[in-house]
């Protein structure tokens, strides 16, 4: 064979090899591009999920802050009510002491009460004639009861 035939065969073989290499490069580039697109889509999905989680976390934080504020408000209200209860209790004790003192003074002044606080029969009789006390500590006027009325 002549040298120019070998040259043509060599050129054709080189052209075929170049075509195969170009096709492989093109296919590789297309595959690489496809992989990159999938990765971009996956990254975008991850970012979107992360953003949604971030928003959910912010909502949970806001709910927790709101619950803490409500709890603090409830503690303040409980403290205020506790203080009011102590004030009422103190006032009730003060009034009970004043009533005890008034009763003691009345007993000291009443000639029908002895030094032990016992009353003589005259005072008891006089008291029961005027009023009677029911089991619910309501005062009943005996005259009104006779007429069918309770006051």
| pTM exceeding the 0.85 threshold for the entire prediction | no
- List all residues 6 or more positions away from 122 whose beta carbon is below 8 Å from its beta carbon: 112
- List all residues 6 or more positions away from 112 whose beta carbon is below 8 Å from its beta carbon: 119, 120, 122, 123
Average predicted confidence (pLDDT) for the chain: 84
- Per-residue confidence (pLDDT) for residue 114, from 0 to 100: 79
- Per-residue confidence (pLDDT) for residue 141, from 0 to 100: 52
- Per-residue confidence (pLDDT) for residue 25, from 0 to 100: 93
Higher pLDDT: 132 or 63? It is: 63
Mean pLDDT calculated for residue range 41-64: 98
* 32, pLDDT greater than 70: yes
| pLDDT more than 90, % of the chain | 66
- Per-domain residue ranges of the chain: 118-151
Mean pLDDT calculated for residue range 60-67: 98
- List all residues 6 or more positions away from 142 whose beta carbon is below 8 Å from its beta carbon: 129, 131, 132
- Work out the pLDDT band at 115, boundaries 50, 70, 90: confident
């Amino acid at each position: 064979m002549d040298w120019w035939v070998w040259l043509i065969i060599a050129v054709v073989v080189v052209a075929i090899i170049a075509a195969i290499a170009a096709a492989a490069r093109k296919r590789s580039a297309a595959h690489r591009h496809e992989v990159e697109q999938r990765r971009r889509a996956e990254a975008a999905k991850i970012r979107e999920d992360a953003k949604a989680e971030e928003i959910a976390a912010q909502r949970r934080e806001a709910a927790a802050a709101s619950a803490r504020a409500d709890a603090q408000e409830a503690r303040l209200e409980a403290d205020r009510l506790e203080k009011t209860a102590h004030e009422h209790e103190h006032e009730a004790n003060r009034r009970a002491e004043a009533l005890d003192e008034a009763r003691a003074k009345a007993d000291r002044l009443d000639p029908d009460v002895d030094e032990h606080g016992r009353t003589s029969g005259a005072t008891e009789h006089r008291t029961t004639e005027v009023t009677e006390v029911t089991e619910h500590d309501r005062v009943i006027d005996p005259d009104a009861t006779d007429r069918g009325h309770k006051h």
